[in-house]
Amino acid sequence: MPSLRDIRTPALVLERGILTRNIAVMAARMQPHGVALRPHLKTAKCAQVAKLATAGQFGGITVSTLAEAAYFAGHGFRDITYAVGIVPAKLGAVAELQRDGTIVRLLTDDVTVAEALAVRATALGTTFHVCVEIDTGGQRGGGAPESDALLGIARRVHESPALCLDGVLTHAGQSYATPGAEAARAVAATERAGVVRAAERLRAAGLPCPVVSAGSTPTAVHATSLAGVTEMRPGNFMFFDLTQVGLGSCTVNDVAVSVLASVIGHTSDGNRALVDAGSLALSADTSANAHLPGVGFGIVGDLWGRPLDGAAAFPLASPRTAPPAASPAPGYLAARIARVHQEHGFIESMTPLPLDALPVGTRVRILPNHACITAAMYDAYHVVDGSDEIVALWPRARGW
């Protein structure tokens, strides 16, 4: 069996045991709410992960690109929500994907698009399933739950024999701006209230609304009530990352993906080790620092994810609150990627780095700030299960 000691770096590593635990925990969270899980595969983009995430569920998934839709349809997934606002130019490709009975559910918040959907569905000899996108505070796609436009769009969809009005969909992306469980709970309540209100308005107007779809990882983790919601679409929860640690969605021990890198040298001041993982291997996303000041471009551990310097480099206690910027918890900062160039990363530490213990060729593992973006840099996961032995290679979908 190949080992993490042998493969070319940088490489993306996935801990199978953590992945399956994260999936089981989310399934157990949804169960008492009686809400279906339609996991978002934008993070994983991988059929093997999708099969684990949908096991015991109804089988529906969410995607963020048509390339993902085609990839997952090719792996037998037949109920797919494409959760990015549709443009008419993509409808030919959607119709093609639906030829074998797959449903690729579409999203719009625009009445002119609803009209184009009706015309194109008839011309293409297909039926498009449509959700109206609702903004519940994220200020991205969607209209307000109380907007006049909502009923106009929904009615236009419902009136077309070539369209099927499935319901309403929202994603409270503002859940990422609010560290801590209490704030996430409040966003989850706002997300639920907004999307349920939109559904009630449709029904009061005599329109069908079987699907009331919501969710992000922080709101799915922290929601106390999901009454009226029919499905949740978290995606990042399968892997988690340092951003989710900072938000209080998980602990560092729940992060399932890491980047394997090699030490390629030391800076001449003797303070920093260089690795072959820079912005293209880790991404330049520094979002976790908003909640965990000082984690830089990722926390660095040894080949097995243990602290580099023997200190508690990975905070093992549940870090529900971010360390204050003025007195950063040494645990977070014992070893981190402080700076990146395209193919270089600089390991720095609050405590002296044991550079003699990090000779050129030493392998380290870096926990990412934002797993969705970091994973997007790779063609495959090197799957391990608590050791450095690679138990599987799982490909990822790429493209748009």
Binding site for ligand PLP (CB under 6 A): 40, 62, 83, 171, 215-217, 233-237
Q: How far is the CB of 294 from ligand PLP (least distance, A)?
A: 23
Residue 217 or 374: the one with the smaller Cβ distance to ligand PLP is: 217
Residue 215 or 301: the one with the smaller Cβ distance to ligand PLP is: 215
Residue 150 or 358: the one with the smaller Cβ distance to ligand PLP is: 150
Residue 250 or 366: the one with the smaller Cβ distance to ligand PLP is: 250
Q: Is 253 exposed, middle or buried (0-12, 13-18, 19+ CB in 10 A)?
A: middle
Q: Nearest Cα to 48, choosing from 371, 367, 381? A: 381
Please report, in angstroms and rounded to a whole number, the separation of the first and last CA atoms in the chain.
34
Q: How far is the CB of 72 from ligand PLP (least distance, A)?
A: 15
Q: How far is the CB of 136 from ligand PLP (least distance, A)?
A: 11
How far apart CA 276 and CA 265 sit, in angstroms, is 9
Q: In what order do the strands lie in the sheet with 79-82?
A: 36-37, 231-232, 211-214, 163-170, 128-134, 103-108, 79-82, 61-63
Q: How far is the CB of 140 from ligand PLP (least distance, A)?
A: 8
Q: How far is the CB of 68 from ligand PLP (least distance, A)?
A: 12
Residue 233 or 363: the one with the smaller Cβ distance to ligand PLP is: 233
Q: How far is the CB of 53 from ligand PLP (least distance, A)?
A: 11
- The H-assigned helical ranges of 31-168 are 47-54, 66-74, 91-98, 111-124, 148-159
Name the CA radius of gyration of the chain, rounded: 22
Neighbours of 105 (CB within 10 A): 25
Residue 201 or 370: the one with the smaller Cβ distance to ligand PLP is: 370
How far apart CA 71 and CA 168 sit, in angstroms, is 25
